[in-house]
């Protein structure tokens, strides 16, 4: 696993792990996991891409937030993307997919592609 990096967005400390260069693949984990779940995938994807795995708010090394609805969390991920990354290939698993779908619906201009794995999307 690459070394942890941190960024503060709206008083929220987000932890992320980054490796590689090229098109950005942004990984969102499920519940009750952290970005550690992607540890074996990151080096493989990083051979030809810049891979960033984010600990969702309140999990892993990211700080808690006051609002955990998917739109609010997707807005934080959007700010991370806008400030630090640019357009992304968003790959998500489980509950991370709820955030990813909200990201796709509300921040489509920041998205290259969306891949949703193992997720039942409510409503």
The pLDDT of residue 22 is 96
Q: Judge whether residue 49 has pLDDT over 70.
A: yes
pLDDT digits (tens, 9 = 90+) for 86-98: 899 999 999 999 9
CA distance 99 to 70: 5
CATH 3.40.50.1820 is the classification of domain 11-117? yes
Residue 73 region by backbone torsions, left for phi larger than 0, else alpha for psi between -120 and 50, else beta: alpha
Q: What is the mean pLDDT of residues 19-36?
A: 96
The model's pTM is 0.94
Three-state helix/strand/coil letters over 5-54: EEEEECCEEEEEEEECCCCEEEEECCCCCCHHHHCCCHHHHCCCCEEEEE
62 near 56, Cβ under 8 Å?
A: yes
């Amino acid at each position: 696993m690459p070394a942890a990096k941190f960024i503060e967005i709206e008083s929220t400390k987000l932890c992320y792990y980054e490796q590689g260069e090229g098109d950005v693949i942004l990984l969102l984990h499920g519940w009750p996991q952290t970005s550690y779940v992607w540890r074996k995938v990151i080096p493989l994807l990083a051979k030809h891409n810049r891979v960033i795995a984010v600990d969702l708010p309140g999990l892993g090394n990211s700080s808690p937030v006051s609002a955990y609805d998917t739109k609010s969390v997707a807005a934080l991920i959007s700010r991370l993307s806008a400030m630090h990354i640019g357009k992304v290939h968003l790959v998500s698993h489980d509950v991370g997919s709820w955030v990813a779908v909200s990201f796709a619906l509300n921040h489509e201009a920041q998205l290259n592609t969306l891949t949703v794995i193992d997720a039942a999307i409510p409503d």
